Structure 1
Amino acid sequence: MGSVGQTATATGHRRRVLFFSLPYQGHINPMFQLAGLLHARGFAVTVFHTHFNAPDASQHPAYDFVPVQFDGTPADSADTVRVTVEHVLAVNRACEAPFRERLAALLEEEEEVACLVADAHLLTLMDVARGLGVPTLALRTGSAACFRWFMAFPMLCDKGYLSSEEAESQEPDMLVTELPPYRVRDMPSASGATLGLMRELISRAVTAVNASSGLIINTFDALETDELASLRRGLAVPVFDIGPLHVHSPAASSSLLRQDRGCLDWLDARGPASVLYVSFGSLASMSAADLVETAWGIANSGRPFLWVLRPGLVRGAPPSQPPPLPDGFHAETRGRGTVVSWAPQEEVLAHPAVGAFWTHCGWNSTLEGVCAGVPMLCRPCFGDQMGNARYVDHVWRTGLALHGELERGKVEAAISTMMGAGEPGTALRGRARDLCRRAAECVAKAGSSDLNVDKLVNHIMSLTSRRCQ
């Protein structure tokens, strides 16, 4: 593998790969993990980034950083889907001209640019790069199943699965026969202008992949064998499943939030597989009523817990402060749990004291749970999270999904099932450990993801050769 990495150097200079991520935590981390992986194989790295959610360059001294003017923040709204989609489209529009200027300046000074790796939602910026002669690779930070859903989006719209009005008339557990294993409830439905924005966003992502020189996807063959095969049948570009990226490149993450590492010391004092870890990611939100039910469900379970309560989690609460917990919660759980604003999640999940993970089922969190070998309690919020929860609950059978109105009794029962001594908890934990083992095999030497990294490196070098001819 070392010899492959050495091919990233030519004429005394390292080939350079450019990166541009969407400015959200769940997109920034995989991009930096990929950058770390390619840097270790011999490539120089330049990171383009917006001023909004700018990464900390001091954490990555081996990389070059190029800021691109964009300061816009997402609107404060309960409609997370709409404001997120609008913000992604705004990033594309606002960054087009400054990115063209900054990239052109770099190309005047740098001869050995191999390609731009950009988030698949940055079609406009990928078009800019190709216009300046730079090949592009699209990075998808979601699952293969999710991108398969993207490709089927027009059909799903035509069938009425994605319109809120039509979806409400269908049975939530009805199977989407055109795209199993999804059910109607696993489809992110919307209405009116929001559905139109979703259509635009997803169409652009599919176009970005089809117009690129290849798709890099953060998944692995043992997890999504059929879904990856479907992508390869439906796409004319090569597909490189090289995940889980956080296992390949564990030190390369770039957290936008300050991590409370003291929680690791707290875990050190807990027994094996005894702690419930609760985190709903960096973007998902909940109502104040759901927070109360969550809190009392955790308290009434009697289990030790580590709970991430980040500022902004509860809609309507002050965004600069962690949301307040219900009266009596701290007294009820004193000595049994700890609450932090943000945690080093990969290290937490790898800690032997953690026995289960309550998650919103963002893809990064889902992959991290899979690789830690812990069962997951799934409470999806929006976007691809419902589909991810379906795979955890129904396909891999390594967790349980909480649907419908959140009630403390349902929460308590689900925690007891996952972490209790009897069935089905024992079976859930066994399957979770098996999936963890298969993930490790994929990234080990000569595993499927390891081999695909070699293929990706060779592919990037072939793109460089064509550009330099």
Structure 2
Amino acid sequence: MEIQGSKTALGCTQPIKTSRRIVLFPLPFQGHINPMLQLANILHTQGFKITIIHAEYNSPNPSNYPHFIFKSIKDRFSEIADQLGTNKDPSYFVRYLNKSCVEPFKECLARLLAESDTDLVACVITDAGFYFTQAVADDLKIPRMVLRTSSLGCVLAYDALPFYSKKDCFNLTKEASEYCNRGRVVKWSPQQEVLAHSATGCFWTHNGWNSTLESICEGVPMICSPNFADQPVNARYVTDVWKIGVMLENGFEMKEIEMAIRRIMTEKEGEEMNERISCLKKKLNISLNEGGSSNESLQNLVHYISSL
């Protein structure tokens, strides 16, 4: 797992001698795939063999991970993929995948367990959103762990707030108006590399947890435009708790965008945000160093999986 501005997590620890395999299964959305592959890399550096079961939709490129084995399963997501731009309820797509992937996942995992190194499979790690996988794991008698890709603060908010009690209750972003100005629009860019560049002064983000973490890792204050799911909660932490960003309260109103950029880039408030986020960046890097809280948690995870 590479955190920009920090060494590889657990990079200084001695790998455990093991021939055991871990099977991982991410939701097929980038904010879920990236953390799962990062976790897979950490576990691989600790001596575990890695197999990734993945849906056909948005499948990872195996050539980028030659040290992993990839197994693709049918997901039928193409039948509803055209709704991604119009359906603002993310739970709809998660519920669909939790039905369409049941049999393909079970058959794939059963085949893996039936191979000659059956006793070497330590556990299966699935995205928390794939809730159907617990029943499959129980049926196949294999330990299951989950990876939740949202922040702890968001988990606490889920427990306290009546989420989804009303339709689109967390779709907080108004319809965007298109306009032309100075700038450049590209289909894709290496986000971590852009954030790490010295010319980057602020980051306009929807505040998915990956993007929020990456911005903190590089010490870049944020302009927040959350949309759904965990994004509004993350954005409120950024603006109201940690005070390292500015919320666009009225969607994409030109004047407000200009003011947000000025607040971060030219005003005293922006200097204070830079100081606070630099402090958070240092704390994050310390947590990943030997003896740090994140480092120790990862080591505990490795030892626990080895004990299964």
Fold conserved (TM > 0.5)?
A: yes
> CA offsets per residue over residues 421-453 of structure 1, 9 Å max, x none?
x31111111111111111111111111111111
1:60-99 equivalences under 5 Å are: 60-73=65-78, 74-76=81-83, 80-82=87-89, 84-99=90-105
Relative to structure 1, the CA distance from residue 3 to residue 447 in structure 2 (aligned partners, 3 Å threshold; closer, same or farther) is closer
Contact kept, 8 Å, 2:173 with 2:251, in 1: the verdict is no
1:103 match = 109
Q: Are residues 1:55 and 2:60 paired?
A: yes
Relative to structure 1, the CA distance from residue 368 to residue 190 in structure 2 (aligned partners, 3 Å threshold; closer, same or farther) is closer
Task: Please state whether the residue corresponding to 2:185 is helix, strand or coil.
Answer: strand
Relative to structure 1, the CA distance from residue 405 to residue 56 in structure 2 (aligned partners, 3 Å threshold; closer, same or farther) is closer
1:4 offset after TM fit, Å? 5.2
Give the % identical residues.
Answer: 39
1:6 match = 16
**1:406, 1:54 → 2: CA distance?**
32
1:149 offset after TM fit, Å? 2.4
Match of 1:443 among 282, 285, 288: 288
Report the TM-score, using the length of structure 2 for normalisation: 0.89
Matched residue type, 2:197: H
> CA offsets per residue over residues 225-267 of structure 1, 9 Å max, x none?
xxxxxxxxxxxxxxxxxxxxxxxxxxxxxxxxxxxxxxxxxxx
Relative to structure 1, the CA distance from residue 37 to residue 405 in structure 2 (aligned partners, 3 Å threshold; closer, same or farther) is closer
1:151 offset after TM fit, Å? 3.1
Q: Are residues 1:141 and 2:149 paired?
A: yes
1:304 match = none
Task: Please state whether the residue corresponding to 2:201 is helix, strand or coil.
Answer: strand
1:78 offset after TM fit, Å? 5.8
Matched residue type, 1:390: R
Relative to structure 1, the CA distance from residue 414 to residue 55 in structure 2 (aligned partners, 3 Å threshold; closer, same or farther) is same
1:228-247 equivalences under 5 Å are: none
1:356 offset after TM fit, Å? 0.7
1:462 offset after TM fit, Å? 1.6
Matched residue type, 2:191: Q
1:121 match = 129
Matched residue type, 2:223: L
1:414 match = 260
Relative to structure 1, the CA distance from residue 190 to residue 455 in structure 2 (aligned partners, 3 Å threshold; closer, same or farther) is closer
**2:94, 2:16 → 1: CA distance?**
36
Contact kept, 8 Å, 2:195 with 2:218, in 1: the verdict is yes
**1:146, 1:392 → 2: CA distance?**
12
Match of 2:270 among 425, 428, 437: 425
Give unpaired runs (5+ residues) of structure 1: 166-187, 192-283, 293-325, 464-469
**2:218, 2:75 → 1: CA distance?**
36
Q: Are residues 1:21 and 2:20 paired?
A: no
1:183-222 equivalences under 5 Å are: 189=169
Task: Please state whether the residue corresponding to 1:67 is helix, strand or coil.
Answer: strand
Q: Are residues 1:402 and 2:266 paired?
A: no
Matched residue type, 1:451: E
1:365 offset after TM fit, Å? 0.4
Contact kept, 8 Å, 1:358 with 1:379, in 2: the verdict is yes
> Relative contact order, CA 8 A, sep 6+: which one is greater?
2
2:51 match = 46
Matched residue type, 1:433: S
**1:113, 1:285 → 2: CA distance?**
44
Matched residue type, 1:68: I
Matched residue type, 1:189: C
Match of 1:387 among 212, 233, 238: 233
1:129 offset after TM fit, Å? 1.8
Higher-Rg structure is 1
Q: Are residues 1:372 and 2:214 paired?
A: no
1:460 match = 305
Relative to structure 1, the CA distance from residue 105 to residue 462 in structure 2 (aligned partners, 3 Å threshold; closer, same or farther) is same
**2:285, 2:220 → 1: CA distance?**
14
Contact kept, 8 Å, 1:6 with 1:42, in 2: the verdict is yes
Matched residue type, 1:40: T
Task: Please state whether the residue corresponding to 1:148 is helix, strand or coil.
Answer: helix
